Copies of this chain bind each other. A is one copy, B any other.
């Protein structure tokens, strides 16, 4: 065991280096260094792949498997290591290179197409990526082609299971959006009016990160064009946000990234480089960010706690806003076309549409040119609105241009898991919402650390919340939007 652990620690060092090169590129690097940096990132990625597919590693794995008297934990670790190894070996390097090239091209074309609302130029690139990902699905064993791609992001759920979950969720959400519309409170409330000075936004973000429990001597908050969270090393978690002087989005964005960072920070560092120091899945990772962003950060209790702080920080914008109104503002619900600007109710409908289209692409043969039509029909049916142009339709997200199919559903799976965790937490600590209203987050964090963070990939989502359903999450939403 010691030998393979040592070998994997070197793997973790290489990933650390990759993370730092990436973080620096997105936050600090002078723009003119992009080509230099791309070469260095490519070099490190090559080293990582070589390390984890080497004959030496294969031998270490084999020796580990042949050891007698493996403990239960060892057996789980071995299973996860084998899973990773097979995944790393499954794709011919020629395919990976082709995909890397195609997605680099597609991303470049996509960015221009989005700005110029020029879908036509992008469609052939999207089709190329679809073809490559169809081929990729063939390299893995799976009942349905889409299942193969889903496994790359979350190996617990098949498309059959997700379709069932999302159909149930969709029904519940559509009903709930209608109820919320009739009720009117969350629809009519007006957004806070800026300006929100950026230095004040930054202070508020840092304050929230700290009280949620992210240690200041083990983290940083910086600026990037798209917020992200990254593990530079176990004791060095970095998050980013972006500031707009007219909107206060940085607050929820920070809470989201802090949720990711808290997970990474509490993974057991003695298992560095192994699956036990990795998150269960992208879905479970997302359950943590959503938990802190939505279940904590958009709760009535949190609104009441943060209200005085916000009054102090933004006295003009907060004039005449009481805690209840702040809660309504945090959850303002109107149907919109842009995923990242949506409240919890509509957000999941955006994801379900993307999921259903991906499912049609890979399981039913839908091609790029036919997506916009399906896109419009589904928006009309689920949200009652239709994009006026492709920039606010299919062109809004970068994921597909980057070759990431099967990624979107993890966002909503994460929400579902966060809902079940919420119900579990409420049962085990009925007073937890009162604590949040008082700004006490440590018991909530302890619950997550104990049940999730400290376990790494030694557990599954099913171990965490049982068979995943939509009831807990819908109950949570009903409680919030009808309470």
Contacts and interface: CB of A to CB of B under 8 A. Distances in A.
Interface stretch (A21-29, A131-139, A410-418): A21-29
Given A33-B218, A33-B232, A236-B33, A40 B17 contact: yes
A33 B43 CA distance: 25
A30 B219 contact: yes
Interface in A226-267: 232-236
Interface of A: 10, 13, 16-17, 20-21, 24, 28-33, 35-37, 39-40, 43-44, 215-220, 232-236
B21 A24 contact: no
9 contacts: A20-B21, A20-B24, A28-B220, A29-B236, A30-B235, A33-B218, A33-B233, A36-B233, A37-B236
Given A13-B43, A39-B13, A31 B234 contact: no
Grouping DSSP codes into helix (H, G, I), strand (E, B) and loop, the A interface class, with mixed when no group exceeds half, is helix
B217 A37 contact: no
Given A20-B24, A24-B20, A13 B40 contact: yes
A21 B17 contact: yes
Contacts of A21: 17, 20
A32 B234 contact: no
Given A21-B20, A24-B24, A44-B17, A37 B218 contact: no
Nearest to A216: B30
Given A10-B43, A17-B21, A36 B220 contact: no
Nearest to A14: B43
A32 B30 CA distance: 26
A31 B215 CA distance: 11
Contacts of A30: 216-220, 235-236
A217 B37 CA distance: 14
By Cβ-Cβ distance, the 7 closest A-B pairs, closest first, are A33-B236, A36-B233, A32-B217, A32-B218, A33-B235, A13-B43, A31-B217
Contacts of A43: 10, 13
Given A29-B232, A30-B235, A36-B234, 16 more contacts: A13-B40, A13-B43, A13-B44, A17-B21, A28-B220, A30-B218, A30-B219, A31-B217, A32-B217, A32-B218, A32-B236, A33-B218, A33-B233, A33-B235, A36-B233, A37-B233
